[in-house]
Chains A and B, each alone.
Chain A
Amino acid sequence: MKSTRRGKAKLIAVDGVDAAAVVAAAKAALASPSRGGISKWDASGVFQDLAVADRDAGSPSARTLLLLYAADLAFRLRWQIRPALAEGHTVVAAPYVATAVAFGRAAGLPLKWLANLFAFAPHPNALVFVHASRDGRAAAGRDGFVGFVCNHVVGSEESGLRRRLIEGTAAHLKKADRRSK
């Protein structure tokens, strides 16, 4: 994220359940890759650490996972997003806040709690919602944030509850997209 001249700083949020589609949209949103960058989830490595944690410790709830996501986002803001914006670059945050809020809503958490949790995150200059196809939603869980957290809440990749959580997240993202227009 280096540049020799300062442009107009811009934060673009790309949100969706299908990790591959979100990354593709993030690349497309970044018009000139040499003058900006993409901030992806788990830059802090919190979830990587969680993935290898002791399974006997008990599955984390949706609330616990969202507290961890917020900690990771605070890290991304500190080390990736804010420094790049200060340099006048475009930063694409993929995912940003909307995906996490949609997952929280799908898990039954109150919107007020979610809004407070992410109150430290600045509003993006632009929002891009990536709506996944049925196949995209089914594949969401391999590498992406939504799949990861759904697997942890449910404790398995193969369950009806996991599918309902992913479908619910996708539905809440659609609502958020409609509200943003």
Chain B
Amino acid sequence: MPGSAAALRRQARTHFTRPSKRRGFLVAFEGPDGSGKTTQRKLFKTWLKSEGYDVVTTKWNSSELIKPIIRSRKSVRALSPEEFSLLHGADFRHRVEQVILPALWDGKLVIADRFLFTGLARDVARGLDLDWVLKLYEPLLWPDLVFYFSVSPVTSGKRVTATRTPNFYEAGQDVTDVDDPVESYQRFIARVIREYESLALIFNFITVDAEQSIGDQHRQIRRLFLEGQQRAWSEWNADAVAEWLATNGAR
């Protein structure tokens, strides 16, 4: 380790609170499938770039190292809820270390299309304990803003099944024991949304009514971002940054 944990936390704090420079900023887009968050994420990114921000996007389950491992196991339906949770936790951790923290350190704006809350909502909907799952994600990295795109289970089901059949895990067929993927999806997404609604309260998400028009949502996000970007760096993130500094060497 290049320094003590306390020294690394100090280094993190100093770096992210320098008044002279635009600091790295993390925005997470969360919500169930069919909530339109990917559309909004793309609109938001285009707007940010036009405003001069250096933007990096990271998507759920996209680590080049872990994604192939998860994909091959999903394809043969070989994952228990614990394995599903742990592998997604590994994918997330690898992206935090390889993509998210390096970009934040360099002062970039990171948009996460789904963040650890996706893991929490889905894993708890699969019957796992919230506390156990949350601790898997430690040291926690808290986004500066979390936009939660709220839709009803019916709307989510309608939007998703309008163009495709949900896949086995998306439909929660590993835990519902329902053969019909559409019916299974409807049951499973209701559980996921229930967990999301609880998380939105606990973690103070900014809720966007995703049943509004695309334009209205986008304008709301721009406004909330401009208000929120003045927020101070969260001291809660010191441990996550310090651990990353320790494993990546002194910067």
Instruction: Give the interface of A toward B (CB within 8 A).
Output: 44, 46, 49-50, 53-54, 56-58, 60-64, 67-68, 70-71, 74-75, 78, 108, 112-113, 116-117, 119-120
Q: B86-94, B145-153, B168-176, B193-201: which lies at the A interface? A: B86-94
Query: Are A53 and B1 touching (Cβ within 8 A)?
Result: no
Query: Does B104 sit within 8 A of A, measured CB to CB?
Result: no
Number of A-B contacts (CB under 8 A): 79
Query: Are B138 and A67 touching (Cβ within 8 A)?
Result: no
Query: Are B1 and A108 touching (Cβ within 8 A)?
Result: yes
Contact of A67 among B73, B80, B89 (CB under 8 A): B89
C-alpha gap A44/B94 in the complex (Å): 20
Which residues does chain A contribute within 8 Å of B93, judged by CB atoms?
A: 61, 63-64, 67
Query: Are A58 and B65 touching (Cβ within 8 A)?
Result: yes
Query: Does B106 sit within 8 A of A, measured CB to CB?
Result: no
Tell me the minimal C-beta distance from B151 to chain A in angstroms. Answer: 31
Tell me the minimal C-beta distance from A166 to chain B in angstroms. Answer: 17
Q: Does more than half of chain B's interface fall in helix, strand or loop, or is it mixed?
A: helix
Query: Does B40 sit within 8 A of A, measured CB to CB?
Result: no
Query: Are A64 and B97 touching (Cβ within 8 A)?
Result: yes
Q: A44-B73, A63-B93, A67-B93 are in contact. List 4 more A-B contacts (CB 8 A).
A: A53-B69, A64-B94, A108-B1, A108-B246
C-alpha gap A56/B247 in the complex (Å): 17
Contact of B69 among A50, A62, A74, A112 (CB under 8 A): A50
Query: Are B68 and A53 touching (Cβ within 8 A)?
Result: yes
Query: Does B136 sit within 8 A of A, measured CB to CB?
Result: yes
Which residues does chain A contribute within 8 Å of B68, judged by CB atoms?
A: 49, 53
Query: Are A67 and B90 touching (Cβ within 8 A)?
Result: yes
5 contacts between A and B (CB under 8 A): A62-B247, A67-B86, A67-B89, A71-B86, A74-B80
